[in-house]
Every structure is written in C-alpha cells, then in structure tokens.
Structure 1
Amino acid sequence: MCGLTGLLLAQPRLHGDALAAQAQDMAAALPHRGPDDAGVWVDGQAGVALAHRRLSILDLSPLGRQPMASADGRYVLACNGEVYNFVALRAALAALGHRFRGRSDTEVLLAAIAEWGVEDALRRCNGMFAIALWDRRERCLWLARDRVGKKTLYYGWAGGALVFGSELKALWRHPDFDNGVDRDALTLLLRLGYIPAPHCVHEGAFKLMPGCLLRLDAAAVADGAAAHDPHRDQRRWWDGRERMRAVLAEPFAGGVDEAESRLDALLHDAVGLRRVADVPVGVFLSGGTDSSTVAALMQAQSERPVRSFTIGFAGSRHDEAPLALEVARHLGTDHTELYLSGADASALVPGLPAMFDEPFADASQVPTALVCQLARRDVAVALSGDGGDELFFGYGRYQRALRNWAILNRIPRPVRGLLARLPGARGEGSRTGGLAALLAEMGARGIGDVYRNRISRWRDPAAAVVGAREPDSVYGQADPLGLPGREAEAMMLADFLAYLPDDLLCKVDRASMAVSLEARAPLLDWRVVEFAWSLPLDMKLRDGTSKYLLKRVLRRYLPDAMVDRGKRGFGAPVGDWLRGDLAGWAGDLLQAQRLRGEGLLDPRPIAEVWRRFQGGERKWHTHLWTVLMFQAWHAHWRASRDAPRP
C-alpha cells in the first residue's frame, strides 16, 4: 500500500524539470503513505507527471519501484494497494509469453493491462487498489478504483491542470488549487458523518466512485470542472447494484450445511491471499464476530502465534478488550491490548484533521487510529474484519428499519400523510428515537426513506449550512436496489455503496496509512461479497440472530459462549469526552461569533443542539461531532493553505 499523486496539463507549458518538481512537491505531502521509497515520471511534451510514495510490502527491492513502465513502454503506472491474486495472474501471463524482472504485483498488473486492456485486466484482479495509468500511445490518463472502494482517489481542477492523489493534501500543494468549500457536500457530512463519492469537500474536486474508471486527456482538462459530470464520466467496470441484482436472480440453492462449508472455504482462501507479504502481518481483534472470524482463520493457517491487537476503554460500555483477550487466549494468538482514557482522546483529536484529510466524523476514528499505532510497533500489515455487517445483516438498525416499515404498511396512506405533517414529525427532534422517530418516517416512500432516517445525524442538514442544497445520494432513494420485496438487501446495498467505502474503509485507510501500516479486509474479497449476496435472508437473520451463517463458520473455531454475544461495535464514548476532557475544545469551535465570521454554518441550530446536549439530552453528540470535525478540519485547511510554500 502506498500513495500516488500527479497532474495533467491542458497544454504542456511546463518544462519537464518544472513538471517533475511540481509532482515531487505534491508527493512530499504523502510521506506517511510511503516511507520506503519515492519516484516520479514525467512526459514534458504530453504535460503529464506521475509521482509515487512506496510502502514496501511485496518485493522490497528496487525492482518494485514506481511509477513503473510496462515492458513494451506503452503504459506507466502508479498504484496504491495490492493485487492479491498476482501469483496466479503472473503464471497465466507467463504462459502467454510475458517475462518478469521482479516479484511485485505492480509489474504483473502492468503486464495484464498490456495483454488484456485496462478494463478486462481490472476484472481479473482480486485486490484493493487505486491507480493512475498513463497511456503513451493514446496520450490519455486512466484513473481507476477497486470494486469495493478500499482505496480512495481524489481528482480536481487547479487552473489549467487536472491534479489527482490518494489524499487531498497532495492536491493542496499545487499552486493553483485554491478551491473553496462545497457547501452542498457539507450537508452530506452533517447527515452521514462523511462525504460519499463522487462528492468532495472542495468545489471543483471529486472522488472516484468504487468500481469506476475515468479516462482523461488534455481536451477534458481544458473543458474544466464545470463541464465534468462524475456520474456520466466515471464509467463502472464493476457495478455493485447490478451485480447484486444478477446474483439475486440466481440465488444459492443449497442447504445451510453446504453454505457453511462454502463460506468457510472462501474465507480461508481470502485470508490466505492476504497473509502474503515480505513483512510481518498481524490482525485487529475486537472480540466480535467479524474480527474473531478473521483471526481464527488466520491462526488456523499459521504455524506460529499470530500477532493480534485491540483497544479498550476503561469503565465504558464500548470496552471490548476483555472479549478480545478471551478469544485471543482460545486461539493462541500473541495478543497486545491498550486501554484508553479521555485524556488519550484529547491528545489525539487535534491531529485528526491532518490525519483524515477531508472532514470525517465517525467517532470510532479515535480508537481506530490508536489501534493502528499500537499494531505498527510490531507489524507492517494488519487484517481487519470490515464488511461483515454489510454482507451478513449485522446491524441492529436493519432490523429496526424493517420493523418500522412493517408498522407503516399497516397504516392507511392518507393517515400516514396526515401524521407526517405533524410538528413532531419534522426537525432534529426525531434523533432522540421512539415515537418521534416513527413519526418522522410516516412520509416514507419505501424502505430507503425509513433507513435514511435511521442512519442520519442531522435530519435537515441544509438548514444548518448557509446557502446549501443537499445533493442526491444512495440514501435519498426510496428503494436503493429497485427490487420489490427485497427491503433487507436494499439497506445492505446502500451501506455497501456508500457507508462501507466512504466511512469504514476510508477510516481504516487514513488511520493505518498515517503510521505506514497496510490494512487488508478479507471479508471484502469480491468472491465472498457475491456469495453473501446470493444467500437467502434466513441464512443471515434467523430467530433474531444476525450473521447466522458467519457465526456458524466461527463455531468451527470458537466455543458457543464466545460466538453468542451481543454486538458492541468499535465505538468511542464521545458524549463523555465532550462533557469532560474535550468540553473546552468543543466550546471554542462552536462559538456563535466564530461560526458567523466563517459564514458556512448557521450558529442558531448548532447552538440549540449544544444547549440540549449540555442539558443532558441523549444522542446529540452525533450531531455535534459532525460540526466539530468540520470546524477542526476547516481551521487546519486554512492554516495549510496560508502556510508559506517550501
């Protein structure tokens, strides 16, 4: 896993040396993503530069250096990520006559592109990646992102240049990138706690969507950001919605025993592929179903104790460390745990804007960052359990949304329409749950609207952002899947398309790469994903037990008592922190005078939420955290923008 950046000019006006210097300066913002090596490649006549920072995981020799050219010289590639099935691809390409100098997956990916073309090569890859590929023959730039979106790729316009990179801080280093805050995208942050692709916090900048390709040439750069429509111009080489529909049309037809064996075999292979590295590999272990399954399969394939790591919160309901320790002892892993306090959080929070790059308000970012720091002391790669909830119906909110949708369908539509107009059905009050939440869902057109209410922080974020209009997202669709009678799958799909890549995976990417640690997610192997989609709902939810089939697999490795435990989630006691160690920091960022001066957020609704929170009302900390993370990021961005350039 590494970092990449670069630029493409509308007109090649810079000398090659100047172009290289600009790309090197952009890459200098990403040393944490690649502390082991750095490289830059330019074509002054074409006006293109690629730069790369390398975290050496496979083939630690100089033969793995990037940007890397294909053997025929046509393509030049900068890649962030890993192609896990590179050994099989290498053998297939060798049989076709390709010869290899080194042992890196990057060289294999280049040969695959040369042999099969960009799109077909990506379809043959099992991995996590974001790539920038220059085609010297066609004089065009390809940007691509993996199926699930494990690696993020930003791009945007800066004067007469298109700039791109693994993180926004690389784009900030271009002298003409002075793009302001996109107020509409800010409403998405307040609603969701993150900004989903293709949106970005900056005007004239975008994120590549998962499973997408973007082809750019000098003409496209010259047309500018105003002419760019990401939904039109980003082409899907793998479409999650269409793949789920296709899989549901041909569902798994076997019994539960056969499904259990199949899932165990798929996970065993997925974990095995992700154990391949020329550096030490460990696992994040929370004690829950997902991470315990990954740890169990990893230890089953290892002759030595696997290194496992967990974070705990003393005296908090979020503390999973005792569960993780129990699992680690049973599996025989070499386990390390670290307990946190409010003071630990206070010390980390000021650095979050620099770490997460774009405003990001999932409070589990704090323990995630700390467990990554803990793991990096001993390993360079760590496996995680991300994806289990979205694939196997793991969230309690799924069940609550189905319950509420069933209630709504028993109420005549005219009555629901009247109830939806009641004062209690509107505004932020529905966040407190109960009858208020049900009233807020009376106007629902479908399961998508019910679920949107379940996952929203701010219910009306546009009211808190001056001059903003909330853009469309997958959570604004009445039925994200578009298949009647598939409400459960529709909710899981919405989370797979947005929450998973742009919250959970973004969180792990930023936190891990901040300390030069590569994180891998075997549950999100595309073969596991599509198999999970093929399963009937009663293999995921049975007798009130979620993740039913995944837990059956886990029982092969752990006793029932360790499997049948309630979900706690990898959260953080943010409410306690905001009333304690972080109270002063929060109060400063939420000052009405400060908000009015910045002109982006309306201080009135924010002051009301702050007042309610300080009065002891529950749940308002999620509202506040979105605002606080934006305010902290905004201060960091302005300081970075105004700092003298080296």
Structure 2
Amino acid sequence: MCGICGFVSRGDISLEALRGMNDTMYHRGPNDSGAEIYVGGDGYRVGFAQRRLSIMDLSELGHQPMHSEAAFGVAGQCVSVVFNGEIYNFGELKKELSDYPFKSNCDTEVIIAAYLKWGISCIDRMNGMFAIALYDRRSEEVFLVRDRIGKKPLYYWIEGGNLVFGSELKPLMACPGFRKEIRRDVLARFLYQQYINAPDSIFKDVYKLEPGGVLRFHQGEVKKWKYWDIGRVYHRMQERPVEDFDEAKGELKGLLKSAVASRMIADVPLGSFLSGGYDSSLMTAIAQENSAEPVKTFSIGFEEERYDEAAYARQVAEYLGTDHTEAYIDEKGMFELVESIPKYYDEPFADSSQIPTMLVSALARERVTVALSGDGGDEFFCGYQMYDRLAQAQRLDGAGAFVHGVLGLPGLKGAKLEERLPVKVRAVSENRDPELKTQVCPPAYLKTAMAFVPGSGLDCRYPQESGYQVKDWQIRRMLLDMDTYLPGDILCKVDRASMKYSLEARCPILDKDVMEYSFRLPHSFKYDGKEKKRILKSIAYDYIPREMLDRKKKGFSVPLDKWLRGPLRESLETYSEKGFLGRQGIFDEDYVSRFVARYLEQGDGGPGSGSNYSRIVWAFYTFQQWYACYIRQA
C-alpha cells in the first residue's frame, strides 16, 4: 500500500520537483520513497515516484521504482514499475513465472515478470486492489492500470501531449505548470451525489482512470479501454447460473474463506473493522477461523444511544473470541476532524460518514497496519433499504404514469397540483425518463442542486443505467451502484480515511472471484421479496447466532443540521455571502445566498419543500472548505 505519481513529458520537470510531488503523499507511505527520471524517445522524459507503506517483504528489495531483470529472452532494466495496492494471488502467479530470476518476495516484482511474459494482458490474471504505472522502454509505452472495482485511486492530467499521474490530486497540483481550473459542469452533480465519479474530476483536463480501466500513453497519444466492465461481466456470468441455493451457499462460502485467507497474508500486524453488522461480522468470523490467535478487532461507539452500535460489536467479538478494542467518541471528537477533511480528501467529498471512518481507522492504526472490512456486501448482495423502495417504485410505475398524465391534462396544467402531493408520490409520478428509472428522487431536491450552479452541464443523475439491459430495477440499480457509488463514494471514503493514518484496508467481498460468482446467483438468493442479503446472512448464521445479528440497523449520521446551524454557521454565512460568491464566480450568487439564509433560519428549502436540505448545504460547505484550502490560498 502506498502512493504513486509520475509523468511522461517533453517539459522540464526536475527530479527535485518529482520528489516534491511524491512527498505530498507522505501519509500514504511513510516507510520509504523513491523517485527516478528516465530519458525516453522523441524528446520525452519519464518520471516515476512512490511513497511506500511496507506490507509485504519489508526489506529494501521491495523498493520502488522497481526494474526488470533479464528474463524470457528480454534484456534487463527494460521495464519499470511503480505500484499501489496488493496482488493477492501473487504467490500462484510466481509459480507460473518460475523462470524469472526473482530477487524479492513482494508482488511488485511479480507484476514485472507477468508483463514480460504475457504483456499488458497480464492484468487479466491478477486478483487484487491496485493502481499500476508501467514503463516499457522497448516500445516507449507507459501504461496506467486500475483494479476492477476501483479500490485504489488513480488520477491523470493530459495537456499538450504530456501525461502526469498520481494516487491523489495533491501531486498533480504540485507539478510545475499545473493550473487549478475548476470544472463548473460537475458541481451540481457533486452537490446531489456528494462525490465526483470517474472519469470526471474537479479540475479541467484531469480525470480519474475508471475502475477496470487501462490507459496507454505513447508519444503523446492516449488510448483507453476496460479489461473488466460491470455490465459485460454480469451478463457473461448470467450465462452460467447456479440454480440450487445450498450449492450456491457452499461455493460462495468457500470463495469468501479463500478471499479472507489471501488478505491475511502480511508481514505486519493485521486486524478487522467490526461494526456488529452482517458483513463485518462475517469477515471477522472467517478471519478468526483462519487464525491461530485472537484477531484484533476495532469498533467505535457513540455517546448518543440512537447511533451507538458498539455493544453489538462487543457481543460479536466476545462470541468469536477476538482481541477487541473499542473507543467511545463524543460529538466534539467528531467535530474536530472537520477541518482535516480537505487535506486528506483533496477533491470535494461530502459523505459525512468519512468522519467515523477516520475515527475507527485511527483506533485500528494504534495496533495494526492492515485491517479487513466488509465493504461491498450491500451493493453485490442487495443490502440497502433503497433497494426495497425501488421494488415498490417499479410496482407503482404504472400508477405514477397515470398520475403524471392526469396532472398534464388541459385545465390542470399550470395549476401546480403536484406541489400538494406527498414527496414520495411526486417522485414516482415524475420518474418518467426510461433512461433513469432507478434514480428516483424528490424533484425539488434535484432542482435545488441544479439551481446552485446554473448551466452546469452534467445531469445530476448517471446516464449509464439503461446500458445494462436489465429490466429488474433492483438489479439495474445494484449494477449502477457498483459502477458509481461504490468506487466513487464508499471506496474513496475508506481509502482516504485509512491512508490518513497509514493504514491499509482490505475488502474480501470485493475479491474478483466473489464479485463474479455473485453475478451467477439468481436475484432471489439475494432478495426474496422480504429479506435482503439472504445468502450472505445464511452464511453468517453458520458462524454467529442469528439473534446477535437480526436487529434493526441503527446506522450512523453526523449531526449535519446541528453543526451547520450551530458551530459552522459563521463560516457557512461567509461562504454563502453574496459578495463572496460573486468574486468566486462559481455559484448563482443570488439563489445560493438566499437559499442558505433560509436554510439557517428554517432548516428546509422553503415553503412546501417537504425536505431537510442539510445534505446539499453540507456538500456546498465542504466544497467551499476545499476551495479555501487549495484555491483561495493560492
């Protein structure tokens, strides 16, 4: 686990500048660093750098950039790599590559050997989380590669025939000649979604490499493709369905056990996040079964009882016999992290659960360097409450079309009768776009986000859902969440929160074989009309008594409304002041200043809005906080 950055450029970027870019990510890799520049062809120079968090082979043999040895009829030093992440099946690959003269016991060298033997298609054989930059001197090609589900981040900047890349935006911003030109067209979507999804970023000419993506850069020309695509893989796996529930349960259980075991291989202390919910409890139970010693587990408790689930986590830990650590946090402890958000989330990011994620990461880092998590269970096995609502919305779609048609009749049009309807009825009634069926939302909320940034360009919702060619709204939305919400929000949140404390988070449910097998299962194995995550729960009950897990999830919610209208009020008023907005030139100064003032007084979006708008105002606040950190100070 680490951070990488570099460039392919005809410009004059010095080794000192490259080291400066690299050191902006010290928190991602405090154990070692390396930076090198190579002379390429056609006037190009290639710079590779890495900050290392030592997990496998703690010796100097794991130092990066790493170069190839002579093998497979190829001269040595012809391939160089910097790499962030873990290749969990590197041991198996190493056996297949036994002719290579390995010097280390780390997965980075396996990447090099695999590329020399199989070319860039070697990534099809890799199971892990990774962001890779590879330079082939023979062909003068540079490849950027990101793992299948987007566990590890990778940004790139393309301008004037040059390429600059990094695990975060900070090294790009530190690159000589970088211009911080904000993309207004992504902001309405950000306010609505709370994050900016790949391939977009907050800056002009800067992109995120998409999950499962490859970028090839050769003499100023860029080619991109996806070696693993959610929609294509789903339909391919559906051709081999598993019809028997018990068979599916047994196979899935075996795959999860294998995924956990491979993620427990580390030369540093390892533990597990434990919330007491199904996913983290199941991962912890399998880890404990696989360990000769009590697994170190970590949970956060909150003083407000309606949010606190620490007692449930403690009960599971006691039952499994783990070495459990918990810490109780008050509101002041959470609030103190607000100022650090833009430093570590160096792109606007407004999922407020980043705060408890940072807290549990800090707690775990006191005792371990690697932590297992249960991320991915909701998206791949139908766990969100929203999926219940979507099933209902699909059943009511015909009635919604009828209501919409009636409201559009002559004589009723313009009467604004829809404003008198309940918010949920209006959402179903106005959900008429066949391309966006699973993204049902209160119309007023959507309009508000768009009004903040008029003419922002991108629709707040994602256009790709109809491309999955799936009729069932639940399945369609699960695939969309795998493409957007999971990598753009959940995995980004965990990556930045854990790496803030130099902690590596590993997610067994997001193992390649587990993900692909989940696509072979009938949807009824995940949701039978009443129970969500049916098959995962059944496996969990093999390890933990049902009564410990079957409970209503309390969830956790940062008191955004209280903070925004309380301790953050003064800075929010400054950020939304009409003169400030006018000088900033990003938002609609009249609309936003009025809206925020009304929110501070009433806590809503105005008469008849029927909704609390703290999420949009919080997203606006976090953008302004980010702006103050990276733009205004410049």
> If the length of structure 2 is used for normalisation, what is the TM-score?
0.92
SS at match of 2:434: coil
| Equivalent residues in 2 for 1:229-240, closer than 5 Å | 233-240=223-230
Equivalent of 1:113, from 115, 123, 144?
Answer: 115
CA distance in 1, matches of 2:31, 2:296: 23
SS at match of 1:117: helix
Partner of 1:251: 241
Instruction: For 1:634, give the aligned amino acid.
Output: Y
Contact 2:67 2:79 in 1 (8 A): yes
Q: Structure 2 vs 1, CA of residues 366 and 416 (structure 1 numbering), >3 Å: closer, same or farther?
A: farther
Contact 2:428 2:440 in 1 (8 A): no
- How many residue pairs end up in the alignment? 615
| Equivalent residues in 2 for 1:274-285, closer than 5 Å | 274-285=263-274
Partner of 2:84: 80
Q: Structure 2 vs 1, CA of residues 486 and 467 (structure 1 numbering), >3 Å: closer, same or farther?
A: closer
Instruction: For 1:560, give the aligned amino acid.
Output: R
SS at match of 1:542: coil
Partner of 1:398: 387
Partner of 1:207: 208
Deviation of 1:156 after TM superposition, in Å, equals 0.7
SS at match of 1:594: helix
CA distance in 1, matches of 2:215, 2:464: 25
CA distance in 1, matches of 2:81, 2:514: 28
CA distance in 1, matches of 2:198, 2:123: 20
Task: Give a deviation string over 1:26-66, Cα, whole Å, max 9, x none.
Answer: 10111111100011121134411001110000000000000
Contact 1:58 1:103 in 2 (8 A): yes
Contact 1:147 1:210 in 2 (8 A): yes
Instruction: For 2:100, give the aligned amino acid.
Output: H
Partner of 2:51: 53
Please state if 1:547 is matched with 2:533.
Answer: yes
CA distance in 1, matches of 2:358, 2:519: 31
SS at match of 1:593: helix
Please state if 1:624 is matched with 2:628.
Answer: no
Equivalent of 2:251, from 239, 262, 267?
Answer: 262
Please state if 1:241 is matched with 2:223.
Answer: no
Contact 1:50 1:67 in 2 (8 A): yes
CA distance in 1, matches of 2:286, 2:539: 10
Please state if 1:343 is matched with 2:343.
Answer: no
Contact 2:185 2:458 in 1 (8 A): yes
CA distance in 1, matches of 2:555, 2:447: 23
Q: Structure 2 vs 1, CA of residues 240 and 396 (structure 1 numbering), >3 Å: closer, same or farther?
A: same
Partner of 2:96: 92
Partner of 1:24: 19
Deviation of 1:402 after TM superposition, in Å, equals 1.9
| Equivalent residues in 2 for 1:489-500, closer than 5 Å | 489-500=475-486
Contact 2:276 2:549 in 1 (8 A): no
CA distance in 2, matches of 1:455, 1:325: 42
Relative to structure 2, which stretch is displaced further, 204-213 or 538-547? 538-547
SS at match of 2:97: helix
Deviation of 1:374 after TM superposition, in Å, equals 1.0
Partner of 2:607: none
Instruction: For 1:103, give the aligned amino acid.
Output: N
CA distance in 2, matches of 1:49, 1:459: 45
Contact 2:280 2:373 in 1 (8 A): yes
Please state if 1:184 is matched with 2:173.
Answer: no
- Structure 1, unmatched stretches of 5+, are 221-227
Relative to structure 2, which stretch is displaced further, 578-587 or 383-392? 578-587
- Structure 2, unmatched stretches of 5+, are 70-75, 605-610
Please state if 1:559 is matched with 2:552.
Answer: no
| Equivalent residues in 2 for 1:279-428, closer than 5 Å | 279-410=268-399, 415-416=404-405, 418=407
Partner of 2:4: 4
CA distance in 2, matches of 1:412, 1:184: 31
Identity among equivalent positions (%) equals: 39
Task: Give a deviation string over 1:358-411, Cα, whole Å, max 9, x none.
Answer: 000101011111111111111000111100000111011111022112112245
Task: Give a deviation string over 1:527-571, Cα, whole Å, max 9, x none.
Answer: 111111211121111251111110000001111111212233454
Instruction: For 1:29, give the aligned amino acid.
Output: T
SS at match of 1:479: helix
Q: Structure 2 vs 1, CA of residues 454 and 514 (structure 1 numbering), >3 Å: closer, same or farther?
A: farther
Relative to structure 2, which stretch is displaced further, 403-412 or 375-384? 403-412
Partner of 1:508: 494
CA distance in 2, matches of 1:548, 1:198: 33
Deviation of 1:424 after TM superposition, in Å, equals 6.4
SS at match of 1:449: coil
Deviation of 1:264 after TM superposition, in Å, equals 1.1
Q: Structure 2 vs 1, CA of residues 278 and 412 (structure 1 numbering), >3 Å: closer, same or farther?
A: closer
Report the RMSD for the aligned CA atoms in angstroms.
2.4
Instruction: For 1:328, give the aligned amino acid.
Output: A
CA distance in 2, matches of 1:454, 1:322: 35
Please state if 1:615 is matched with 2:615.
Answer: no
